[in-house]
Every structure is written in C-alpha cells, then in structure tokens.
C-alpha cells in the first residue's frame, strides 16, 4: 500500500492555497475522463514501426523528435517523418480519441532552444514554425522537450540565465499560435512539456507561471542513476540506493512550485540502465560504477535476462523499484517492471495526477508494461 508522506501533504496544501484551489487532493474529473496514457514514439531513427502500435491502449502519442534549427522547428528527416505522420493519423481509425503531438528537442536536439526563444521576434517565428508543422500534417498539438533551459544538458548546448523567463514566454507564444489554429479548425490543440524531474530544473525555470499555458507537464522521472549503482526510475527514495531523487520527490516539488497536481504526468521507463561494477562490489545496489553498458528494453530484460544466466532479480520495497544484479560478471541493471509500474499507477490515482507517460514505445514491443498500465488505469 502506498502511503502519502507528510511532506507531500504540506506541499500540496501550500501550493493549493497559493493558487486558490481546494486544499485537498483533487477528486476524479467530473467528466469521468480516465488518466492519460502518453507514449513517446521515436521517429528520429527513420521509419517507425507504427503498424504495431496499439492505438486503443493509448490516449496520446508524442512523436519524437522535431529539431530546432536556425530558430525554427524543422523536420530534419522530413521524408520519413511525413510517412510516419500518415501512419500515426491512420491509428485514429482504431481510436478516434487518440491525440498525436510532435515533440521538439530531446537530449540531442535541445542545443538551439535558447537562441530560438531569446527575443520576441525569434519566439514568434519559432512558435509559428512549430504550429505550421501540425497544421500541415493535421496533428493535435506540440510537446516541448528542452533539456535544459538555463543549465547544461547535452555537451555543447547553448544555455543562458535568461532562459528562465524565456521558457515561460515561449509557451505563451506557442499557446497563442495554437489558439489561432483552434479557431481555424474548430479542434482542440494541446500544448505540453517534458521536464527534468529534479530540483535544479525548477531553479532554472518558472514552472508556476509556465503551467498556465500547458495542458500537461510530463515528469521525466527516470535516468536518476549514474555515479553509483542506484535506481534510475524509482518511485520513492531508498536508504539502500544513496539517491537524492525520486518520482515522489519530483511530484512534491513541482506541486510546491505551483504546478497543479492534476496537470502532472508520471514518467515510466520502458528501458533499463546497465552498469559494470568493480570486481570487489558486494551488494550491487549502492556500489560504485566503473562504466555504463547497454541496458536494453523491457521485453528483452523480461524474456532474456531476469533470473537467467547469473542475473538475479531483486526488489527494493522502500523505493518500489526492481533491479538485477549478476555477482559473477558484476553487472547491475536498474529498470521499471510490472510491479513498479503498478505502484506508480496507484500513486497517480491516489494523488489525482493526470496520468502516465513512457519513453519509449519500441523498447517493449510485447507491451508487457503497457498492458500493466492499462490494467491499472483503465
């Protein structure tokens, strides 16, 4: 059973009072809408395997990624992107309520955001170029994945202190362009963002102001591990893992920063992080890391790694997170499984969050985790 911490309750009350919202956890929406299930589908590799996407198991698809070049949103792989868009639209024959958004940026394509939104003129042109893509391809919205405003991300990315304010005004300009498109088409157009789910992201942004323009704030509650063999997508903190980050902490902090909990979306990792540990490692979890290895997607981990060939699966009950440790090869894998996903979904329902999102669809082609999400939320 999940237990809501005292700190979460205090943060929620303070944020609610500041925004004149009810000082209790929000009830389910009056319109009866179920939690959202947002899947990121990668088109950055070229043609995506969209024919095998289970449209009825999703509410939204975020197409990753659209590049930012010369202060404009650009389809770097336009030939394959166009095919992918056509196939994504065809999924609406299976699920007419499915929403399809373009996601701009990502880890490797976030280097030019700072330039693109630095001035009023640049922001207007950037917003118009992004919305022109969804206008041309008859899509449903824009998702911004800027990693990261005001702080380092991928090596060589441009970032400035003024990104903090420009991050907010970028959303204002995008919302204006999307509103105009709504008037043209008579259809709802969405604006969302994927955000770093750690404290310093909030220090370099104004999420309490930016949220007013956003439909959802997708918390990237993964990639937490690195320097030590810790959990990379844990729900709660753990004494065993020596980690300062967790999904629960991120939710608390974003609510305290002024983001309504009903706009927050919990991130789920459909892939693992794998590390080589020193020869004298004793426990796996909490030991130091020598190097990073290829972790693989969940289908691979479940079918070919868990409790096989010396790889033993464990559960950290405090963190609500699994891990795999091979004492012979000194390899450690941190990931989400059905159990941790079920705990995350229960958390989402308990705290009135908008739903869940995951990176990335192709990492679990047998849909083990997507089926668990649907069982828990639908």
Output the pTM of the full model: 0.91
pLDDT at 12: 40
C-beta separation of 370 from 336 below 8 A: no
Apex 29 CA angle, 245 and 146, nearest 5: 40
**Domains, the chain, ordered by start:** 6-269+337-377 (3.20.20.80)
Give the separation between CA 302 and CA 297, rounded to whole angstroms. Answer: 9
Radius of gyration of the chain (CA): 20
Residue 99 phi, psi dihedral angles, 5° rounding = -105, 135
Residue 130: CB atoms within 10 A of its CB come to 27
pLDDT at 77: 95
Burial class of 362 by CB neighbour count within 10 A (0 to 12, 13 to 18, 19+): middle
Which residues, in sequence order, are bridge partners of residue 219?
Answer: 195
Q: Phi, psi (5° rounding) for residue 267?
A: -90, 140
* Per-residue confidence (pLDDT) for residue 247, from 0 to 100: 98
Strands 216-220 and 190-196: parallel
- Rounded to whole angstroms, the Cα distance separating 11 from 262 reads 14
328 is catalytic: no
Contact 325, 274 (CB under 8 A): no
- CA–CA separation, 250 vs 244, rounded Å? 11
Phi, psi values for residue 53, rounded to 5°? -80, 130
Residue 32 pLDDT: 61
Q: Which residues of the chain have pLDDT under 70?
A: 1-32, 242
* pLDDT for the residue 28: 47
Give the pLDDT confidence score for residue 243 in this predicted structure: 76
Q: Residues 261, 273: contact at Cβ < 8 Å?
A: no
- pLDDT for position 249: 98
Dihedral (C-alpha) 189, 94, 216, 181: value to the nearest 10 degrees?
-10
Choose the catalytic residue: 51, 78, 147, 262. Answer: 147
Q: Nearest to residue 60, comparing CAs of 196, 210, 214, 190? A: 190
Please report the pLDDT score of residue 346 as a whole number.
98
Q: Residue for token digits 């909030």?
A: 202
Predicted local confidence at residue 23, as pLDDT: 29
């Amino acid at each position: 059973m999940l237990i809501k911490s005292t700190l979460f309750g205090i943060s929620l009350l303070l944020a609610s009072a500041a925004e004149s919202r009810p000082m209790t956890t929000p009830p389910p929406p009056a319109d009866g809408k179920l939690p959202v299930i947002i899947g990121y589908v990668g088109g950055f590799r070229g043609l995506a395997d969209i024919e095998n996407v289970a449209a009825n198991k999703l509410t939204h698809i975020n197409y990753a990624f659209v590049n930012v070049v010369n202060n404009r949103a650009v389809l770097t792989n336009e030939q394959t992107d166009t095919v992918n868009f056509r196939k994504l639209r065809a999924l609406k024959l299976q699920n007419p309520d499915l929403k399809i958004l373009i996601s701009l940026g990502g880890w490797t394509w976030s280097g030019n955001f700072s330039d693109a939104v630095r001035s009023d003129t640049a922001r207007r042109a950037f917003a118009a170029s992004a919305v022109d893509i969804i206008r041309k391809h008859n899509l449903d919205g824009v998702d911004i994945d800027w990693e990261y405003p005001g702080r380092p991300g991928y090596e060589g990315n441009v970032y400035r202190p003024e990104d903090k304010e420009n991050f907010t005004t970028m959303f204002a300009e995008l919302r204006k362009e999307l509103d105009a498109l709504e008037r043209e088409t008579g259809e709802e157009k969405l604006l969302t963002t994927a955000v770093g789910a750690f404290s310093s992201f909030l220090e370099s942004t104004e999420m309490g102001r930016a949220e007013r323009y956003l439909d959802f704030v997708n918390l990237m509650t993964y990639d937490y591990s690195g320097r030590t063999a810790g959990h990379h997508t844990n729900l709660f903190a753990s004494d065993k893992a020596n980690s300062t980050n967790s999904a629960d902490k991120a939710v608390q902090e974003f609510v305290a920063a002024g983001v309504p909990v009903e706009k927050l979306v919990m991130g789920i990792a459909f892939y693992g992080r794998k590390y080589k540990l020193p020869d004298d490692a004793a426990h796996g979890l909490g030991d130091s890391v020598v190097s990073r290895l290829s972790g693989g997607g969940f289908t691979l981990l479940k079918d070919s790694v868990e409790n096989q060939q010396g790889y033993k699966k464990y559960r950290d009950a405090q963190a609500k997170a699994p891990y795999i440790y091979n004492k012979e090869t000194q390899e450690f894998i941190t990931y989400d499984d059905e159990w941790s996903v079920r705990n995350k979904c229960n958390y989402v329902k308990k705290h009135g969050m908008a739903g869940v999102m995951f990176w990335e669809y192709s990492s679990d082609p047998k849909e083990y985790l997507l089926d668990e999400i649907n069982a828990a939320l639908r």
